[in-house]
Structure formats: structure tokens, C-alpha cells
Amino acid sequence: MSQQADETPWEGQCYKAAWIFGRQCADLAKSNPYGDLVDPLGTLINTLMTELWDNGFSQTEIRIAFEEAIRDMPRYAAGEERRDSN
């Protein structure tokens, strides 16, 4: 199957979906009306996990993906705790 020039490759589609989700998460965290009563990122990640499970991913697949992402974070973050927002 050949890919047309105007189609985004699978990897690009994955990146775009993650980028959109990341931006939406940041916006929701900033607009959190509950302050310290609700951890917005914890709520979002927990809800993402349940949505992945509801959409056919196994508990093992989800757990491994989260664990691998956490293990890769130091390499990506290069020792920084938070990305500079400037």
C-alpha cells in the first residue's frame, strides 16, 4: 500500500495526538478551580488509563507503557525537573 504525499505518517499521527493531549492537560491544570483539593495531572492520567483499558488495551500493556515512559523520562528531561515555560 503506497502512502499519498498529503497523508501524515503513523509516527506523526502519534506525535500529534500526544501533543494535543499534552496541551489540553496543561490547559486543564491551569484552569483547575479546586486548587490543592484536586491533583489535575493525577486525575488526567488516571482517566487516561481507564480510557485505554476501555478501548481494548490490557492492564499489562498499559502498565508496561507507563513504566517504560517513566524510565525514559530522565533521558528526555536531561536532568531538569520541569521544562522552562519561557
| Residues 61-72 pLDDT 10s | 999 999 999 999
Does residue 45 have a pLDDT over 70? yes
> What pTM was computed for the model?
0.80
C-alpha cell at 40: 489535575
34, with CB counted inside 10 A (0-12, 13-18, 19+), is exposed
Q: Is the pLDDT of residue 3 over 70?
A: no
The band of 6, judged by pLDDT with boundaries at 50, 70 and 90, is: low
pLDDT of residue 79: 87
**What pLDDT is attached to residue 5?**
53
